[in-house]
Structure 1
Amino acid sequence: MNIAFLGLGRMGRELVPHLIDAGHSVTVWNRSPEPAAVIGRRGATVASTAAEAVDGAQTVVSALFGPDTVREVITGAGLPFADGALWIDVTTVAPADAEEFAAWAGEQGIRYVHSPVIGSLAPARAAALGVLVGGEHDAARDARTIVSLWADPNKLRMLDSPAKAAAGKLVANLALAVSIEGLIEALRLGEAGGLSPNEVLETLGITALAPVAAMKGPTVVGRSFDDTQFSAALLAKDTRLMLATSVKPLPAVALVADALDRAIASGHGEEDFSVIADD
């Protein structure tokens, strides 16, 4: 299959090799050329523009920064999608955005599926991500054959609309945001009570915070945030989508959103989101 892949951020660079290894012909585009050059050496064709990448593609996969970037690169750009092409958007967006993009795609004769991923770079590399697939039945079925290349089969969920897939991704990222705050506060409380950081992490290992303690505990304790699995800037963008989507207050999310904004203002936006431990 001829596949166009738009957006080679940290996650996009992990997903494209799965398409290449499965035998697909992949043309990539990225705003900055360096990531595209790396993927080009991996076996993809590098396009100089998004329009060039999309031209002639049966399937277009987009993994962009957020909904505004989707509008800039895709829905507002007049890209030459083939009639009936399948557009799989991996970008984290709000449910209202997904509805907007689905409506636009329908007007253009494009089949739209929203398929965000749940997990970080190591699971992406290992084809062990959680994956949500939301769209019209036949389009979602066809998209599943693509996104299953980077999914853990036990963590692939089919939903009946793009908006539900978008909501599911925000729920997953809310859990991540609130959990990291819980880890940070538990370490602070433990320190005040005379526990060592390792004793706090051992205790958290038998609690509901066990997953985030195992995943981010050493990073937070070591105060080393350079190994970015999920940047502070990305999670900040996602918390804004959560707050804009919910009709009721999300005070825990708002707290983390403020901490992320302070980290970005201090020049740490491209570091791992756990950098808020230094707040």
Structure 2
Amino acid sequence: MDIAFLGLGRMGRELVPHLIDAGHRVTVWNRSPGPAETIGRRGAGVAESAAEAVAGVDAVVSVLFGPEAVRETITEAGLPWRPRTLWIDVTTVSPADAIEFAERASAAGIRYVAAPVVGSLAPARAGALAVLVGGEHDAARDAKRIVGLWADQEKLRTFDSAAAATAAKLVANLALAVSMETLSEALRLGRAAGLSNDDVLSTLSLTAIAPLAAQKGALVTAGDFDDAQFTAEALAKDTRLMLATSDVPLPAVALVAAELQRAIEAGHGDKDFSVIARDR
């Protein structure tokens, strides 16, 4: 297939090679040229603009920072869509955003599928992400042939609508955010009560947050947040989407959102989201 890929942030740069390796003809565009040039050396064509990238392709994959970036780059940009183009949006957006984008896509004569992913850069590189696919039946079926290239097939979930898939992504990220706060507070409590960090992490291995404690515990206790698998800025954006979507209070999310905002204001927005557990 001829595929345009819009957005080469941390996640996008991991996904594009799967398309190239599968033999698709890929044209990439990114706001800043450096990442596009790097992927170009990997075998992709490089477009000067999003409009140039999408012209005449069979499918478009977008991996942008959030809903405003989707509007600016795609839905409000007057792109030269080929009729019936399949648009797969991997961006984390709210259900309301997904409904809006689906309506805009329908009006433009194209097919919109939301396909956000659950997982970090390492599983993306390995083709082992969870992928949440939502859209009209035939469009979702066609999208899975593409997003399946970076999915663990046992973690590929299909929803009846794009809005449902994006809601599920927010649920997954809520669990991640609150679990990180749990890890942070457990370490603080343990230290206050005289336990070593190793004692706390060993105890947490017996609990529901064992996977996150195993993944992030050593980094947190070392104070090393530079390897940003998922940045504080990105999770802060997602917590805002959660709070805006829910019609009931989400006090734990509100707490994590405030912690993330403090980290951003301290200059740590580009650090891994686990930076909220830093010593203060």
Q: State the TM-score, normalized to the length of structure 1.
A: 0.99
| Residue of structure 2 in register with 1:92 after alignment | 92
| Residue of structure 2 in register with 1:193 after alignment | 193
Shift of 1:191: 1.0
Q: How does 1:33-182 map to 2 (within 5 A)?
A: 33-182=33-182
Is 1:19 paired with 2:31? Answer: no
Structure 1 unaligned regions, length at least 5 = none
Structure 1's consecutive aligned runs of 4 or more residues displaced over 6 angstroms after TM superposition are none
Which AA in structure 2 matches 1:106? S
| Residue of structure 2 in register with 1:7 after alignment | 7
SS at match of 2:61: strand
SS at match of 1:99: helix
1:201, 1:267 → 2: CA distance? 28
Which AA in structure 2 matches 1:225? F
Which AA in structure 1 matches 2:207? T
Q: How does 1:258-273 map to 2 (within 5 A)?
A: 258-273=258-273
Which AA in structure 2 matches 1:7? G
1:263, 1:185 → 2: CA distance? 16
Q: Deviations over 1:49-107 (max 9, x none)?
A: 00010011100000000000000000000011110000000000000000000000001
Shift of 1:193: 1.7
Shift of 1:42: 0.8
1:59, 1:211 → 2: CA distance? 36
SS at match of 1:254: helix
SS at match of 2:93: coil
CA RMSD across the alignment? 0.6
2:32, 2:242 → 1: CA distance? 28
SS at match of 2:81: coil
Which AA in structure 2 matches 1:174? L
Q: Deviations over 1:2-22 (max 9, x none)?
A: 000000000000000000000
Q: How does 1:177-256 map to 2 (within 5 A)?
A: 177-256=177-256
SS at match of 1:156: strand
2:69, 2:109 → 1: CA distance? 21
Aligned residues: 279
My pick for the range that moved more, 5-14 or 269-278, is 269-278
Shift of 1:150: 0.2
SS at match of 1:153: strand
SS at match of 1:155: strand
1:49, 1:217 → 2: CA distance? 42
Q: State the TM-score, normalized to the length of structure 2.
A: 0.99
Structure 2 unaligned regions, length at least 5 = none
Q: Deviations over 1:171-230 (max 9, x none)?
A: 000000000000000011111222110111111011001011011111111101000000
Which AA in structure 1 matches 2:257? A
1:260, 1:79 → 2: CA distance? 35
Which AA in structure 2 matches 1:209? I
SS at match of 1:260: helix
Which AA in structure 2 matches 1:175? A
2:250, 2:88 → 1: CA distance? 29
The sequence identity of aligned pairs, in percent, is: 71
SS at match of 1:132: strand
Shift of 1:165: 0.3
2:150, 2:30 → 1: CA distance? 20
Which AA in structure 2 matches 1:61? V
1:28, 1:113 → 2: CA distance? 19
Which AA in structure 1 matches 2:41? R
